[in-house]
Structure 1
Amino acid sequence: MMRAAGWACVLLVVVSADPETLYKKVGDEVILKPAAASVTGPITTIIWKEGLNIAMEWDGKDIDSYRQFKERGSLNISNGEMTITGLTRGDSGLYTVEINGNAAGSTRLTVISPVPTPSVIKSCDDDTSCVLTCEGNTTGTEPFTYTWHLGAIESPDSSKKQRITKEDSSSMEEFSCVLQNPVSEERSKPISNPFITPESSAGGLKISTGLMVFISLLAALLMLVLFHRWKAGMWFFQEESLPWQAGFWSRQGGAPRDAAVSNGTTARREKGETEEETPMA
């Protein structure tokens, strides 16, 4: 009687002590292990309990399984470990083990779903402040946490909502949030800063476009100057080379024409002189 009471006290101490908490994802498997150094000799009996109900036991000959553990449970009689496959949220609970009649540890198993991929929803009251909300169906994913990424900065605020202002976020291009629990982590697609409007972002584009136009005009002007130099044989700032000067556009190849004109004038002059010298009949 006293021996039974002693074992009951030992079991009560083990169960009442803070058990190891173990998180697992729905569909995964878990290996429940006896506490370290709890097994000191050859194993002759093993009893695993889920709460107050026996899940699996070995009496030194046969392994007996109960309820869902008949199909999804297995027992390693060499080290006392129990494996559960295809975990469901219904498998969550406190598991205790006795080896050779002695309490050998406990584990609190919590089976949860993975977090979904969240999305960021913005709600702006005016042109100076907005509230960002990290949305996602978190049913069955507890415990989970939120993390906000504001540009390249990770916010210390871990709440579901994040308030931003135009003044404080002027250097931030985009925002995203992360949902995380002990078995999974998902990040939202980033959204653009609502305070950076197309007009403001187009400022840089306008400067770039203006620079390209300036370079193009400068190149065209340079081509015109070089053409003028080639055509006139001198630079544009020399008075004789101005396009409205007589003979500018016919200067190249103009020498033969001038010669022809000159020859024609001389010929007509000589002809006239000959006619004057011819005596009248």
Structure 2
Amino acid sequence: MEKLTWCWLLLAVLNSALAQNKLTTKYFTDGGELTLDLRPPPPPGPLGDVLWKIDGNLVAEWVKDIVPVTYYRNFIGRTTLNVTTGRLVIKDMTKADMGVYSVEVNRKVQNERYNAVWIKEVPQPEIWIRPLTCSNDSDSCTLDCEANITEPAGPVTYSWKKGDGEWKESGKDLDITKNGTLDVETFTCRIQNPVSERDSKPKRNPLLEVQSQESDLRDCRETDVFMSMQKRG
């Protein structure tokens, strides 16, 4: 019985330690906005005081009837603290604003902390066809969604669209077959991260038959001639 009680006590201590160390990642980019909420929300009733910090340094502070809302250092002029909800909003973010944000409410340190991470917006991607010999004579090919990402971009996802269809999240590469894409004229890929998204230019389906420009012009001339004869008749 004593051993079981000890196990329950140890489990409770471990759960408490894990709660105290809960860290949520929030991504932002240059000129962006960072919004931090109290999690879990405070108990019902008005707040008495709120204190936000970054890496232990003061960001914003408020104590009811004692300290008016006050902002510190480079957060002055671009930060808003809601004394009803405890929400903190910081505008015009820069790489210098990276760090771990924590909050105290009613003189109690909250479990939730935020790791603010700076990332770059994604560049416009481009679709490459593999192998280079892929043509309308091929049975299958691979489309590769390439983007020149040279800076930290955070988690990146890829999506593909067939013609004017819906976007579907997929991998960086898309395998296509002739039988499966006979009714698809173009493919477009999208690259997305937590702060931005960019689309490629549509790429013509390489497995479709290609009419030559001369053939297209000849068809147009024949159509014009036929219409003229119809009018004369």
Q: TM-score, normalised by structure 1?
A: 0.58
More contact order relative to length (CA 8 Å, sep ≥ 6): 2
Deviations 1:30-50 (A, max 9, x none): 332323641544544322122
- The 8 Å contact of residues 143 and 182 in structure 1, kept in 2 or not, is answered as yes
- The 8 Å contact of residues 15 and 96 in structure 1, kept in 2 or not, is answered as no
Deviation at 1:208, TM superposition (A): 6.1
How many residue pairs get aligned? The number is 212
Structure 1 residues not aligned, in runs of 5+:
1-8, 223-281
Alpha-carbon distance in structure 2 between the residues aligned to 1:63 and 1:163: 56
Specify the SS of the correspondent of 2:52. strand
- Equivalent residues in 2 for 1:79-94, closer than 5 Å: 79-94=85-100
Q: TM-score, normalised by structure 2?
A: 0.67
Specify the SS of the correspondent of 1:141. coil
Select which of 134, 148, 157 maps to 2:145.
134
Deviation at 1:190, TM superposition (A): 0.8
Is residue 33 from structure 1 mapped to residue 45 from structure 2 by the alignment?
A: no
Of all paired residues, the percent bearing the same amino acid is 32
Alpha-carbon distance in structure 1 between the residues aligned to 2:15 and 2:51: 15
Point out the structure with the larger strand share.
2
Please name the residue that 1:151 is paired with: 163
Select which of 112, 121, 131 maps to 2:119.
112
- The 8 Å contact of residues 128 and 144 in structure 2, kept in 1 or not, is answered as yes
Please name the residue that 1:48 is paired with: 52
Residues 218 and 98 of structure 1: CA distance in aligned 2, closer, same or farther (over 3 Å): closer
Residues 35 and 56 of structure 1: CA distance in aligned 2, closer, same or farther (over 3 Å): same
Point out the structure with the larger helix share.
1
Please name the residue that 1:276 is paired with: none
Specify the SS of the correspondent of 1:117. coil
Specify the SS of the correspondent of 2:129. strand
- The 8 Å contact of residues 38 and 104 in structure 1, kept in 2 or not, is answered as no
- The 8 Å contact of residues 28 and 85 in structure 1, kept in 2 or not, is answered as yes
Deviation at 1:144, TM superposition (A): 1.8
Structure 2 residues not aligned, in runs of 5+:
1-13
RMSD over aligned CA atoms reads 3.8
Alpha-carbon distance in structure 2 between the residues aligned to 1:155 and 1:119: 16
